[in-house]
Amino acid sequence: HLLSAEPYGEGWVVDALRTAAGQALAQGAPEAAVSYLRRALAEPPAPKARIDVLVELGAAETCLPATQDFAALREALELARNPRERAEIAEQLSWALVVAAQNASARTLLESELESSDDFDPSLVERLEAHLIGTGAPDLATQGIPDRVARNFERFKRGEVRDPVMFAALAQTGAVVGLPAVDVAAIARVAVRDERLVEDWWPAYWGGVSALSWADRLDEAVVAADAGIAEAQRRGRASMFMPGSIHRAQMAFRAGELSVAEMHSQGGLELARELGPAAEVWATMWYAGTLLERDRVAEAAGLLDAVQFSDELLGLWQGAVLLVDRGRVRVALGELELGVTDLLDADRRMAAPGYQLSVLNDWVPTATATLEKLGRREEARELAHRELADAVAFGASRRHGMALSVCGLLESGAEGLAWLREAVRILEGSQARLEHARALVNLGAGLAARGEREQAREPLAQGLDLAYRCGAVAVAEQARSELVATGARPRREALSGPDSLTPAELRAARMAAEGLTNREIAQALFLSAKTVEWQLSHAYSKLGVSGRTELAGALKASRPNTGVP
């Protein structure tokens, strides 16, 4: 009724609309909240209340996919009555800008506010500093981030850090600037355990979650990611759900669960296309890598063809990751020079402000192999040894094992073989099943190259079996080829069972097996009930089951061993 009524300047109308807007946001209906608050502004509110309504409207608009200018928050910033109020509004505007991938604008705003930090209390200064570290770091033009991380890390060790946003910012950015994985994990653990982070500052929450993954704490990362996704579903907030899907996909990839990684990547990308171009670019990150491991090069190439590699994008972490993906796709297509140029350019862009690209993307194995094919062997060796030194300093077993395997492939003597064996040993005890499979295949190839064909068969067969179980078609085919070269006759297995499902079908089937109804699945995934019904129907057919009661058993079906006769 109030929405339809003429404005009369009544304070109770503004109060009622603000209350309704708060309830709408809590129920996951930001469109309704925005309409209520815009109507409240038209009433209009009293001058003292106008800023509050504008800030509430800005928070609601941040949840809408089409919002890019954030006019309400910008007006509130202009009307701020004192430096503290202005800084608090600037903090919220910076979040909104980052969600819209406008990192440079967020950085400029935060740097401007910090210039007036003498007027703020220490807790507000820490919050603004945390925002600059967490949201400014992905903008590669931001100056002095490693110094800010080092300074605040010392404060963390002295027990002086209190703000959950600072914990998350230190964990995420600290990993990329080279803090040891054990310290990154310790900070990230504190961050994600603070309920205020996922409730009030969810972009920072995902930063803490990703830091746990990069530090090889995958079990903890998955638990935290699933909690964040559940919170997004509870709120009905698609803009929060989408990055959760992307981070969850990256964790599955690092664990060697490629079908699960593809499921989350595809779900995140489908939702991102509804949220707008900025979200779609974000959702594309890491997806191409999964497709390459599945030996679906054309699909990976098509995915990246849709990306506009503008100067603005290439000035961000996201741009560097996508540049790596494009480089790897180009190499897979035989465009070696173009591919390695992309890879080295991405490294150069990240290294300039003091960041390590390998924390974000596994680019070194492709780069060194391509450099060697192009006759640039010394350049390849230099890169491999640099990566090994950085990996040892970082202290995460996945990265360490990968670096050892890369170095081992480039050395023809006994030292190279020792590195290959050490890589297998390290990765065997990790959760990185795909990299363990790759290391086994690399060891087998190294033994075969040294004339030890019979000894090569065991690691190659083990690598083939593990790659097959990961769904890593490219690694499995490499292992098969190497085995054939040794005189073995490995069996070729047909794709069946859970791995025959598309990512969307697998996602719906998993949720149905857990007891969710079609409507509940649709609400959780932001899909229509008809779409879910269609996906489950196809899943039943491929799995050979008649209904959802048989799904749990069918989804547990494992592939047979691919032993070598």
Find all residues with CB under 8 Å of 301, minimum gap 6, and list them: 329, 333
Mean per-residue pLDDT of the chain? 88
Between CA 132 and CA 126 the distance in angstroms is 10
More reliable by pLDDT, 387 or 91: 387
pLDDT of residue 334: 96
What one-character DSSP code corresponds to residue 519?
Answer: H
Between CA 116 and CA 331 the distance in angstroms is 49
With pLDDT > 70 as the criterion, what percentage of the chain qualifies?
A: 95
Name the pLDDT band for 159 (thresholds 50, 70, 90): very high
Amino acid at the residue 178 = G
Do 261 and 279 touch, CB atoms closer than 8 A? no
Residue 119 has pLDDT above 80, yes or no: no
Do 175 and 205 touch, CB atoms closer than 8 A? no
**Nearest-CA neighbor of 398 among 175, 242, 227, 246?**
175
pLDDT of residue 493: 59
Between CA 452 and CA 555 the distance in angstroms is 40
- Count Cβ atoms below 10 Å from residue 389 Cβ, excluding itself: 11
Find all residues with CB under 8 Å of 268, minimum gap 6, and list them: 242, 243, 244, 245, 246, 249, 283
| CA-derived radius of gyration, the chain | 25
pLDDT of residue 326: 97
Query: What is the torsional sign of CA 345, 350, 352, 355?
Result: negative
- Count Cβ atoms below 10 Å from residue 87 Cβ, excluding itself: 22
The least confident of 1-5, 235-239, 251-255, 485-489 is 235-239
Residue 249 has pLDDT above 90, yes or no: yes
Do 214 and 181 touch, CB atoms closer than 8 A? yes
Query: What is the torsional sign of CA 462, 468, 469, 475?
Result: positive
**pLDDT tens digit sequence for 106-115:** 888 888 888 7
517-523-526-530 Cα dihedral, nearest 10 degrees = 50
**pLDDT tens digit sequence for 386-400:** 999 999 999 999 999
Residue 495 has pLDDT above 60, yes or no: no
Name the pLDDT band for 562 (thresholds 50, 70, 90): very low
Residue 529 has pLDDT above 80, yes or no: no
Q: Which two tokens stand for residue 158?
A: 């002295």
More reliable by pLDDT, 184 or 273: 184
The long-range contacts involving 280-284, CB below 8 angstroms and separated by at least 24 positions, are 280/306, 281/101, 281/307, 281/313, 281/318, 281/322, 282/101, 282/242, 282/243, 282/246, 282/318, 283/242, 283/245, 283/246, 284/322, 284/325
Q: Which two tokens stand for residue 374?
A: 């192009």
Find all residues with CB under 8 Å of 507, minimum gap 6, and list them: 263, 264, 267, 525, 535
Work out the average pLDDT over 187-210: 90
pLDDT of residue 564: 37
Name, of 63-72, 454-463, 532-541, 555-564, the range with top average pLDDT: 454-463
pLDDT of residue 478: 94
Which residue stretches of 315-432 are H helix? 317-332, 336-351, 364-373, 377-394, 397-410, 414-428
What one-character DSSP code corresponds to residue 119?
Answer: G
Find all residues with CB under 8 Å of 540, minimum gap 6, and list them: 546, 547
pLDDT of residue 171: 96
Do 132 and 111 touch, CB atoms closer than 8 A? yes
Residue 316 forms beta bridges with which residues?
A: 139
Please state, in angstroms and as integers, the Cα–Cα distance from residue 396 to each residue in 175, 181, 183, 212, 359, following that order.
11, 6, 11, 11, 10
> Helix or strand or coil: residue 305?
helix
Residue in the block written with tokens 């800030």? 55
Find all residues with CB under 8 Å of 162, minimum gap 6, and list them: 123, 126
pLDDT of residue 68: 66
Query: Which letter, b or e, does each residue of 151-162 get, where b requires 16 or more Cβ atoms within 10 Å of its Cβ?
Result: ebbeebeeeebe
Between CA 400 and CA 385 the distance in angstroms is 11
With pLDDT > 90 as the criterion, what percentage of the chain qualifies?
A: 53
Name the pLDDT band for 492 (thresholds 50, 70, 90): low
**pLDDT tens digit sequence for 7-52:** 888 889 999 999 999 888 877 788 898 899 999 999 888 888 898 8
